[in-house]
Structure 1
Amino acid sequence: MQADFLRKVYPGVQPAYHMNKQHWNSVYPDTLPEEELRAMLDDSYRLTQPAAQKQRAAAPKAATAKKAAAPAKEKQWQVYLLRCADDTLYTGIALDVAKRAAAHNAGRGAKYTRSRRPVTVLYTESCTGKSAALQREAAIKKLPRAQKLALANGAAQ
């Protein structure tokens, strides 16, 4: 078998570099029967082809199809600022701030707030997505305490 033939029949076949070298086999195409060589190459190609080329399930489930047909609803993430019992401030993000504040007060929230209960919500701010909320949370956490309180007081007025 010629190398050109192998490249045409098995495009993109590359050595399996992810395998340990002690498991590599040296194969000389001219020394094996064609059927055996084809079987080896088929197995190798099937096992090492890129994930995008691997076969997927033919038909999606009915529930999945309904979800795909429904319009995508953007989740409204919120950044919140809490005042703890020891007068410290805590910043976080949540989809439902009231539920998250209740979790903090029940001791199921962040470790920081568990020993500083009860907590009260000082400020909330809506964001378009989780990524935006995380970025805004990081920005608020960098603010000095006075600016955090001014932010909360500005929202209260």
Structure 2
Amino acid sequence: MPFQVRQATVHDLDTLAPLFDGYRQFYGKPSDLEGARAFLGARFAHQQSLILLACDAQGRAMGFTQLYPLFSSVRMVRTWLLNDLFVAAPARRQGVAAALLREAAAHARAMGAASLSLSTALDNAPAQALYESLGWQRDRQFCEYALTL
């Protein structure tokens, strides 16, 4: 099934919201379609993220990735956090995730970024295999911590 990856705009909110809601449900959160739409709408309104959207030949959404701009103080460069990556169940195993990851890397390069980073669950072996097949390297130097507020 052919598909294309493009940068999403605020006009894609109705297409993106169900995907984003499905992404959150994948991670154990309850469905909240209006909350998903509001969250994404705020990202667009404040230009706080970049969303890449994969659509099939009929324009149906297949998957998305959301990138957030960051900076490395030590290296004094721009970086991007690939925070969200999701492919709808019917579109899986068709190369959509790989295409989204490649397009994210191309966009980051075009913006002059030094790197992309992401986190995934320790038990998410399929995702880890995909990332590594595309040249991503697991960080063996740093531990990641979080503080819940």
- Alignment TM class, shorter chain as reference: under 0.3
> Could you tell me the TM-score, scaled by structure 1's length?
0.20
Which has the larger helix fraction?
1
> What's the TM-score once normalised by structure 2's chain length?
0.21
Q: Which has the higher strand share?
A: 2
